[in-house]
Amino acid sequence: MAALQERVSSQRHAEDQWRQLIELAPDAIVVTNGAGHIVLVNQQAEVLFGYERAELLDQPIEILMPAAHRRRHVALRDQYFGAPHTRPMGSGLDLRAVRKDGQEFFVEISLSPWSSDDGTMIICTIRDITKQKQAELERQRIQEEIIRVQEAALQELSTPLIPISDEVMVMPLIGSIDTRRAQRVVETLLEGISTTRAGVAILDITGVPVVDTQVANTLLRAANAAKLLGAKIILTGIRPEVAQTLVGLGADLSSITTYGSLQRGIAYATGLN
């Protein structure tokens, strides 16, 4: 009997020490039972969520979550409890919690199972990371803005329209042409023809490293669309290997006047007009 009393006393002492450690923890701690109900919180949890301790005890853990996530979390919670394991903070999950006043904030949460006389409990350690998340989102916004500005600048540089005279404009193409850029080339060209009412547009592909089906189709689309606006397309920068590639692709460039160099194309265009 004495041994049993000593064992019970030792267990109570260990539990009291455990509760004291939880109370002194720097992070908010919420302990739930197998039914997902809160059985223990520390002072930091009261401060973080704005509840009095008595308001949280026996409440489902979902009370601390945004309403939109509560129903789904019940299933996730039951699944976790079926095979409980330690999940440390910083697991990459985008989690939010909600305070008593309804304010949502970003959190990191670690989960740890704990075996007690009352069954398995889940220790939830909760850390407010709103400031870090806001800083991360701001960095992401700035990065996206920089990329947007850079893309805009590159787009302007990659499809420039250079007026030679009232009737002639040149579009020197530099770099690879993918589907997105091909569309931009045609749109920029047609807009330029429509705005300036130019009669001749020179497409110079000297700076295009690879001429493939995509490039050939772009040139044909540009020529056909320009023709509808009453303008003529001159293609310059036709290197021997480019000519062979276009022939091999079966590209019908009969509606386009071609020259090996931009200088000859300009000379022809200005003499034409």
Check which CATH number belongs to the domain holding 75 and give it. 3.30.450.20
190 and 87 part of one domain: no
Query: Which among 41, 23, 45, 20 has a CA at the least distance from the CA of 32?
Result: 41
* Domain count for the chain: 2
Q: Is residue 32 part of a domain?
A: yes
Q: Is residue 186 part of a domain?
A: yes
Q: Is residue 40 part of a domain?
A: yes
Q: Is residue 5 part of a domain?
A: no
88 and 184 part of one domain: no
163 and 127 part of one domain: no
Q: Is residue 136 part of a domain?
A: no
Question: Three-state DSSP class for 114?
Answer: strand
241 and 181 part of one domain: yes
Give Cβ neighbours of residue 178 (< 8 Å, ≥ 6 apart): 214
65 and 160 part of one domain: no
What is the domain range of residue 42?
A: 11-131
Q: Is residue 179 part of a domain?
A: yes
22 and 126 part of one domain: yes
Q: Is residue 190 part of a domain?
A: yes
27 and 92 part of one domain: yes
124 and 91 part of one domain: yes
177 and 102 part of one domain: no
Give pLDDT, residue 10.
56
73 and 119 part of one domain: yes
164 and 110 part of one domain: no
Could you give the CA distance from residue 89 to residue 85 in angstroms, rounded to a whole number? Answer: 13
- For 110, half-sphere exposure in the C-beta direction (CA atoms, 13 angstrom radius) is 11
Q: Is residue 142 part of a domain?
A: no
Residue for token pair 């960095």? 139
Per-residue pLDDT of the chain (273 residues; tens, 9 = 90+): 555 455 545 556 566 677 788 888 899 999 999 899 999 999 999 999 999 999 999 999 999 999 998 999 888 888 888 888 888 766 667 889 999 999 999 999 999 998 877 788 899 999 999 999 888 888 888 777 765 765 565 555 556 778 888 888 888 887 777 777 778 888 888 888 888 888 998 888 888 777 777 777 777 888 888 888 888 888 888 888 777 777 777 767 777 788 888 888 888 888 765
